[in-house]
Structure 1
Amino acid sequence: MRYDDPMNWAFGILLFLGTVIFMEGFAYAAHRWIMHGPGWFLHESHHRPRTGNWELNDLYAAIFAVPSFVMILGGVQLGWWPGFTWIGAGIAAYGAIYFGFHDIIVHKRLPTRYLPKSDYMKRIIQAHRLHHVVETKEGTVSFGFLVAPRPEDLKAELKKRARAGVRRPAGAQERVGAERQDALLTEK
């Protein structure tokens, strides 16, 4: 496969886009069965209040960047099949989309004035916030990042589980925190 062949560019772009789409399924599975499974020792920090700029969960970004880096390096410099370059770039693009959505828009780790206006953005942000209402390894809902169930369905699932694992507010903020949780679970 040569990089200067237009037909190969079209195939490469399809590989790239297919990889981005595939990564949403991979991210769902990794989040549900690794991060909320044996990898909870790192991910747990993400379900607790952050005390600095970093949390152990941030190591997942480095872990998931390795295949992207290796594929791009192999495809560009080491003579591997050039398709690996497109796949590696697709993984990197998904990582950038994830960072923008998850870390900047939802968790506001960088200052932004972004206010969601579209129904889609409101839906995925609310779904991710409902995921974080639960602070335990089990009992969480909504593991995807760019595709999420309707918030009404997630709230019904949390209610069905008798709110098991739902974060309990502590200290002076107890009443305010409980009201915020109730509002999050009942808002439309």
Structure 2
Amino acid sequence: MNFIIVLASFLAMEAVAWFTHKYLMHGLLWSLHKDHHKKESSGFFEHNDFFFLIFAIPGIISLYIGMEAGYNYLFWIGLGITIYGLCYFLVHDIFIHQRFKLLRKIDNSYFKAIRRAHKMHHKHLGKEDGECFGMLWVPMKYFREQRSRA
């Protein structure tokens, strides 16, 4: 049952990430996210990196409270959130944006579709008219595009 809770939490985080990216990062919190689209600073960190902390806090709190309560369901929810955060970091920051020079040569149609969808997201420099707000779920047209190139 704990595995199901972790998996459900992980999958729910994709919906949370999509919603917050579309309606908060490209809305009320654009001031924190815009440097991710417009590269306003030349340093390693962006204002957008604050979202790492914003997303990590519920996971950390759930892990702590769940652990204190004898590893109840909150712990497993926190674990799902944390695993999603790790995947987000690996896919978004390392694979897509190459903030560390790792995972550069992945030759997999799923990962190529993720990279293409994210590139399409970044073609919009403003907060309006965006597309592809998720991270792991990619519209089918990007998979078909990758298959036709293979």
Q: For structure 1, list consecutive stretches of 5 or more residues without a partner in the other structure.
A: 1-10, 154-187
Secondary structure at the counterpart of residue 37 of structure 1: helix
Give the distance between the partners of 1:113 and 1:143, measured in 2 at CA: 22
What is the RMSD computed on CA atoms of the aligned residues? Answer: 1.9
Secondary structure at the counterpart of residue 126 of structure 2: coil
TM-score, normalised via structure 1 length: 0.72
- Are the counterparts in 1 of residues 95 and 102 from structure 2 also a CA contact under 8 Å? yes
Does structure 1 residue 18 correspond to structure 2 residue 28?
no
2:104 corresponds in structure 1 to 114
Does structure 1 residue 140 correspond to structure 2 residue 130?
yes
Does structure 1 residue 73 correspond to structure 2 residue 64?
yes
What's the CA shift for 1:140? 1.3
What's the CA shift for 1:80? 7.2
Which aligned pairs between 1:164-183 and structure 2 lie closer than 5 A?
none
Q: For structure 2, list consecutive stretches of 5 or more residues without a partner in the other structure.
A: none
- Give % identity: 34
Higher RCO (C-alpha under 8 Å, 6+ residues apart): 2
Secondary structure at the counterpart of residue 28 of structure 2: coil
Give the distance between the partners of 1:57 and 1:102, measured in 2 at CA: 12
What's the CA shift for 1:29? 0.5
Larger radius of gyration: 1
TM-score, normalised via structure 2 length: 0.90
Give the distance between the partners of 1:73 and 1:113, measured in 2 at CA: 32
- Are the counterparts in 1 of residues 98 and 104 from structure 2 also a CA contact under 8 Å? no
Which aligned pairs between 1:32-51 and structure 2 lie closer than 5 A?
32-49=22-39, 50-51=41-42
- Are the counterparts in 1 of residues 94 and 103 from structure 2 also a CA contact under 8 Å? no
Alignment coverage as a number of residue pairs? 144
2:120 corresponds in structure 1 to 130
Return closer, same or farther for 1:12/1:113 CA change in 2, 3 Å cut-off.
Answer: closer
User: Would you tell me which structure has more helix in proportion to its own residues?
Assistant: 2
Return closer, same or farther for 1:37/1:80 CA change in 2, 3 Å cut-off.
Answer: farther
